[in-house]
Amino acid sequence: MHDQLAERLAEIDDRVAAAARDAGRDPAGLTRIVVTKFHPASLVERLHALGVRDVGENRQQELTAKAADTARLDDLRWHFIGQAQTNKARAVRSAASVVHTVDRTRLADALDRAAAPDEPALDVLVQVNMTDDPDRGGAAPDELDALVEHVSGCATLRLRGIMAVAPLDEEPARAFARLRRYAERVRAIAPEARWISAGMTGDFVEAVHAGATHLRIGSAITGPRPERG
Ligand SMILES: *Cc1c(COP(=O)(O)O)cnc(C)c1O
């Protein structure tokens, strides 16, 4: 069968690797997360069969449902990339291997308290809001240092780095250059927090050039998203 999914995945991976080489970086240092939101669990199974191990969702209910439906797939890691409510912290924590969107101390505390006894530390990133719109999610840049210090003090969270979505009205290269400076601020406080989660279908090349370590790519690989139910 003519497998468009396999073709798109291979094509994007080629483009990611080319961007890395262009930027003088080792492609092996990049994690390509396939964002599967709005697509059925069967798509995750097909991706897994093609070797994909990192998948992302932006809504807790969909994350919980798909993680349950795909629980038998080996080594699958779910990345939560959406806005999280504090009262869903346990649900997020039990489904996700990584939470990219810690943007306030209350959410960090909720995730921390949601740890089951003896559960391994949860990998988290702090999300920075690169727009002036507080509804977009993410901490304002001037709140970042305090948030990083707070998360670093949460015993069951392991701070890995920073995440952002480039604004629609700013050139991605410019936005990601700003993000890189925020990432340096994070590392000045938490030297182990080296991940930069940035880059989507429309801007992953710029993100790779700006030092992104985790790319969140959806539609370029999965095809257009089905209508939201
Ligand atoms: C949907 C989504 C993506 C992927 O978007 P595409 O443009 O389809 O690649 C990446 N990051 C976040 C936070 C998302 O919600």
CATH of the domain at 173: 3.20.20.10
* Dmax (CA) of the chain: 53
In a domain, 124, yes or no: yes
Cβ atoms 51, 73 nearer than 8 A? no
In a domain, 78, yes or no: yes
pLDDT digits (tens, 9 = 90+) for 202-221: 999 999 999 999 999 999 99
Q: Using the atom order of ligand 1, give the atom closest to the CA of residue 82.
A: 13
In a domain, 156, yes or no: yes
In a domain, 227, yes or no: no
In a domain, 37, yes or no: yes
Whole-prediction pTM: 0.97
**Whole domain around residue 168: which residue ranges?**
2-222
pLDDT mean over 162-174: 97
pLDDT mean over 85-114: 98
Ligand 1 pocket, residues with Cβ under 6 angstroms: 35, 37, 58, 81, 165, 200-202, 216-220
Cβ atoms 190, 148 nearer than 8 A? yes
Which residue's alpha carbon is at the smallest distance from atom 5 of ligand 1? 218
Please state whether 29 falls in left (phi above 0), alpha (psi between -120 and 50) or beta: alpha
Q: For position 228, what pLDDT does the model report?
A: 64
Count of domains for the chain: 1
Q: Using the atom order of ligand 1, give the atom closest to the CA of residue 220.
A: 9
Cβ atoms within 10 Å of 1's Cβ, excluding its own? 4
Give the list of residues 6+ apart from residue 132 with CB closer than 8 angstroms, or none.
Answer: none
Q: Is 78 helix (H, G, I), strand (E, B) or coil?
A: strand
**Count of alpha carbons within 13 Å of 74, Cβ hemisphere only?**
3
pLDDT mean over 125-142: 96
What proportion of the chain, given as a percentage, has pLDDT over 90?
A: 95
pLDDT score of 1 more than 60:
no
pLDDT mean over 183-187: 98
In a domain, 93, yes or no: yes
Which residue's alpha carbon is at the smallest distance from atom 6 of ligand 1? 218
In a domain, 183, yes or no: yes
Q: For position 225, what pLDDT does the model report?
A: 79
In a domain, 229, yes or no: no
